[in-house]
């Protein structure tokens, strides 16, 4: 892999403005998910280094919060500019450690950078209120202040954007941050820190801890009274544990957890558009995205047409090494992910589903799962209940709007939902009836910096991006001004 700037390939951690290694001299391997080759060794930090990072972030908080919004904004803006300048290099590092096709990886860098640009601007718009007093001698004002030291725990599926979506609003608000990236994809996080340093982020404001001792780091972050906020993206199971762990110090918490997105095709839908939307929403990152469509509900009158057209498109998807031209589906992140998708598909087939496409790994590479289409699927199968996190489309048949709303909502998750139809009376009703934080109507692509990203139910709480995203890193303080005696009349 050729980088225009080789110094972006960092293999040390970043704490208090220094590039550091493990005190115990421990490292762990980072693998290329396409061929399992070792691509780097990074520090396996523990509790001690985590506590040092927390301390550094606490010290830095006192000066960072005092910078003007304009000063914080211009540092963030420089960081954005550098990300865009090096987007090809950052994309290559991302593909190498995560596997997604290079154009998709570069797209993620631009997406990640867009949060930095957006929150550079939002830093200047942290407004308070004046509120009419409840008594004649009272004046009421609110101000917003940064919550303090933030911990961000991020996943491997978006190794760049899930960091910037948390760090940019935190820094804009005046908070300082400790990031623990996923152990599969630490290199993108370290490259971001390198560019952050070049942009002028002061020491201690952004700290990156890589570790193979996940639980130890998690406990050090969640038990610390200095850390006032935890923002997490990952599985619902881990999210629930982290919420419990944060209770002991009553931290402010944001959780962006798993999904089980329905994709509904009504009988009046534009079927070609629905097929294009299904491909876009399902196969992004080989299906390893929390907003990927998980269950496809298609009206019985258009079931055959939709299935045939989708199957034709699925056959065109090229799988392979993310660095090869025209590849649209790269490898799964690891063997565990391949095993899980295999289990989901085999369970469905055993219970009567028909396999129209895929259903196995590629003959050339057993970490690439072929795009898979299952029909005759029903609610007895795991594919109905579980987040697949892989390139599998299970199609269910429905006959009435009432029935499909019930099916769509029949899950503890509530992140994203999609539907295709033309009747605006139905569109409004369905939009309101779906118990999800985000709904795509006649589109399979909903993610953007400008809109609030987040879920309800067991998909979590809190919103990222948009004008709301910065609120997660702010506290509202209310000032009640009483009257001071003054003899003069005005
Ligand atoms: N909502 C989403 O975007 C995502 C959802 N998922 C779902 O979760 C499934 C499993 O994926 P997986 O990667 O295991 O997701 P996890 O939830 O295990 O990992 C996400 C992040 O949390 C960290 N983590 C895990 N356990 C702890 C802990 N006890 N304390 C502190 N941090 C912790 C991980 O660290 P480490 O890497 O060191 O283990 C990683 O940084 C997927 O198949 C998918 O269904 C996964 C990723 C993202
Ligand atoms: O799977 C995730 O958690 C990342 C969401 C990516 C997006 O913003 O669309």
How many other C-beta atoms are found inside a 10 Å radius of the C-beta of residue 163?
26
Q: Is 255 in the pocket of ligand 2 (CB under 6 A)?
A: no
How distant, in Å, are the alpha carbons of 36, 184, 272, 279, 400 from that of 329?
17, 18, 21, 11, 34
Residues 170-193 have pLDDT tens digits of: 999 999 999 999 999 999 999 999
Q: Is 73 in the pocket of ligand 2 (CB under 6 A)?
A: no
Residues 196-206 have pLDDT tens digits of: 999 999 999 99
Q: How far apart are CA 48 and CA 57, in angstroms?
A: 14
Question: In the predicted model, is pLDDT for residue 455 greater than 90?
Answer: yes
How distant, in Å, are the alpha carbons of 65, 326, 375, 417 from that of 288?
36, 19, 21, 16
Predicted local confidence at residue 488, as pLDDT:
80
Q: How far apart are CA 232 and CA 166, in angstroms?
A: 9
Predicted local confidence at residue 214, as pLDDT:
98
Predicted local confidence at residue 487, as pLDDT:
78
Residues 311-322 have pLDDT tens digits of: 999 999 999 999
Residue 395 tokens read as: 């199609």
> Hey, which of 104, 108, 153, 162 would you mutate to test ligand 2's pocket, going by the most ligand atoms within 8 Å of its Cβ?
162
CA of 291 to the centre of ligand 2 (A): 6
Write b or e for each residue in 77-116: b if 16 or more Cβ atoms lie within 10 A of its Cβ, otherwise e. Answer: bbbbbbbeebbbbbbbbbbbbbbbbbebbbbbbbbbbbbb
Q: What is the mean pLDDT of residues 272-277?
A: 98
Q: How far apart are CA 348 and CA 8, in angstroms?
A: 44
Better-predicted residue by pLDDT, 473 or 1: 473
Q: What is the phi/psi pair of residue 444, to 5°?
A: -105, 0
Domains and CATH numbers, the chain: 6-257+459-477 (3.40.605.10), 261-441 (3.40.309.10)
Residue 349 tokens read as: 């087939």
Predicted local confidence at residue 136, as pLDDT:
94
Tell which atom from ligand 2 comes closest to the C-alpha of 256: 3
> Hey, which of 444, 447, 450, 462 would you mutate to test ligand 2's pocket, going by the most ligand atoms within 8 Å of its Cβ?
447
Residue 390 tokens read as: 């892989």
Residue nearest to atom 8 of ligand 1 (CA): 235
Tell which atom from ligand 2 comes closest to the C-alpha of 155: 3
CA of 160 to the centre of ligand 1 (A): 15
Predicted local confidence at residue 490, as pLDDT:
79
Tell which atom from ligand 2 comes closest to the C-alpha of 446: 9
Q: What is the mean pLDDT of residues 420-425?
A: 97
Residues 229-245 have pLDDT tens digits of: 999 999 999 999 999 99
* Nearest alpha-carbon partner for 117 in 56, 160, 74, 148: 74
Question: In the predicted model, is pLDDT for residue 486 greater than 90?
Answer: no
Out of 104, 108, 197, 256, pick the active-site residue. Answer: 256
Q: Is 274 in the pocket of ligand 2 (CB under 6 A)?
A: no
Question: In the predicted model, is pLDDT for residue 339 greater than 80?
Answer: yes
Predicted local confidence at residue 151, as pLDDT:
99
Predicted local confidence at residue 403, as pLDDT:
98
Q: How confident is the model at residue 1 (pLDDT cuts 50, 70, 90)?
A: confident
* Nearest alpha-carbon partner for 129 in 140, 119, 118: 140
Residue 252 tokens read as: 């402010």
Residue 193 tokens read as: 């820190």
Tell which atom from ligand 2 comes closest to the C-alpha of 157: 1
Q: Is 163 in the pocket of ligand 2 (CB under 6 A)?
A: no
Stated pTM of the model: 0.97
**Ligand in closest contact with the CA of 259:** 1
Write b or e for each residue in 180-197: b if 16 or more Cβ atoms lie within 10 A of its Cβ, otherwise e. Answer: bbbbbbbbbbbbbbbbbb
What ipTM was reported for this prediction?
A: 0.95
Q: Locate all alpha helices (DSSP H) within 123-235, ordered by sequence.
A: 161-173, 186-199, 214-223
User: What distance, in Å, lies between the first and last C-alpha atoms of the chain?
Assistant: 75
Q: How far apart are CA 56 and CA 208, in angstroms?
A: 12
Contact 268, 421 (CB under 8 A): yes
Predicted local confidence at residue 230, as pLDDT:
98
Question: In the predicted model, is pLDDT for residue 18 greater than 80?
Answer: yes
Sign, CA torsion 31/3/286/178? positive
Residues 53-72 have pLDDT tens digits of: 999 999 999 999 999 999 99
Residue nearest to atom 7 of ligand 2 (CA): 447
Q: How far apart are CA 489 and CA 424, in angstroms?
A: 61
Q: How far apart are CA 477 and CA 479, in angstroms?
A: 7
49 is catalytic: no
Residue with structure tokens 């060794």? Answer: 41
Q: Is 453 in the pocket of ligand 2 (CB under 6 A)?
A: yes
Question: Which residues sit with their C-beta closer than 6 Å to ligand 1?
Answer: 153-157, 180, 182-184, 214-215, 218, 233-235, 238, 241, 256-258, 290, 387, 389
Predicted local confidence at residue 250, as pLDDT:
98
Across the chain, how many H-helices and E-strands are there?
Answer: 14, 24
> Hey, which of 97, 186, 234, 335 would you mutate to test ligand 1's pocket, going by the most ligand atoms within 8 Å of its Cβ?
234
| Percentage of the chain exceeding pLDDT 70 | 100
Q: How far apart are CA 129 and CA 137, in angstroms?
A: 18
Q: What is the mean pLDDT of residues 258-286?
A: 98
Question: In the predicted model, is pLDDT for residue 489 greater than 80?
Answer: no
Q: What is the mean pLDDT of residues 248-274?
A: 98
């Amino acid at each position: 892999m050729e980088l225009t700037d080789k110094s972006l390939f960092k293999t040390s951690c970043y704490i208090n403005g220094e590039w550091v290694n493990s005190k115990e001299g421990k490292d762990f391997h980072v693998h290329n998910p396409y061929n399992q080759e070792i691509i780097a060794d990074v520090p396996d930090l523990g509790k001690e280094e985590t506590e040092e990072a927390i301390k550094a972030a606490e010290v830095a908080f006192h000066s960072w919060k005092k910078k003007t919004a304009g000063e914080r904004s211009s540092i963030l803006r420089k960081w954005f500019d550098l990300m865009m300048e090096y987007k090809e290099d950052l994309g290559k590092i991302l593909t190498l450690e995560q596997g997604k096709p290079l154009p998709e990886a570069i797209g993620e860098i631009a997406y990640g950078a867009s949060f930095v640009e957006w929150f550079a601007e939002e830093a200047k718009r942290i407004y308070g209120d004046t509120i009419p007093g409840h008594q004649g001698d009272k004046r009421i004002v609110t101000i917003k202040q940064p919550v303090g030291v933030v911990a961000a725990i991020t996943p491997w599926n978006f190794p760049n954007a899930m960091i910037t979506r948390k760090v940019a609003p935190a820094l804009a608000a005046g908070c300082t941050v400790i990031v623990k990236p996923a152990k599969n994809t630490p290199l993108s996080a370290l490259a971001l820190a390198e560019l952050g340093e070049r942009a002028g982020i002061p020491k201690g404001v952004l700290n990156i801890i890589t570790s193979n001792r996940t639980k130890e780091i998690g406990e050090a972050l969640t038990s610390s009274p200095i850390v006032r906020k935890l923002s997490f993206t990952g599985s619902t199971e881990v999210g629930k544990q982290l919420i419990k762990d944060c209770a002991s110090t009553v931290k402010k918490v944001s959780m962006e957890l798993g999904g089980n997105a329905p994709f509904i095709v009504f009988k009046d839908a534009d079927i070609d558009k629905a097929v294009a939307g299904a491909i876009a929403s399902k196969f992004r990152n080989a299906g390893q995205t929390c907003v990927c469509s998980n269950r496809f509900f298609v009206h019985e009158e258009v079931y055959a047409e939709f299935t045939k057209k989708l199957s034709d498109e699925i056959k065109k998807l090229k799988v392979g090494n993310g660095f090869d031209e025209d590849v649209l589906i790269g490898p799964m992140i690891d063997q565990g992910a391949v095993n899980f998708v295999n289990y989901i598909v085999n369970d469905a087939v055993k219970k009567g589903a028909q396999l129209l496409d895929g259903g196995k790994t590629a003959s050339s590479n057993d970490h690439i799962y072929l795009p898979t289409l299952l029909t005759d699927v029903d609610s007895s199968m795991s594919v109905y209940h579980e987040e697949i996190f892989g390139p599998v489309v299970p199609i269910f048949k429905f006959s009435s709007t009432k029935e499909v709303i019930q099916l769509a909502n029949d899950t503890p998750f509530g992140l994203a939902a999609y539907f295709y139809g033309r009747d605006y009376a139905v569109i409004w009703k369905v939009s309101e009836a779906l118990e999800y934080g985000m709904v795509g109507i006649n589109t399979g692509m909903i993610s953007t910096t400008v809109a609030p990203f987040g879920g309800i139910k067991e998909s979590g709480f809190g919103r990222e991006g948009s004008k709301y995203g910065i609120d997660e890193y702010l506290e509202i303080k209310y000032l009640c001004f009483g009257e001071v005696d003054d003899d003069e009349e005005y």
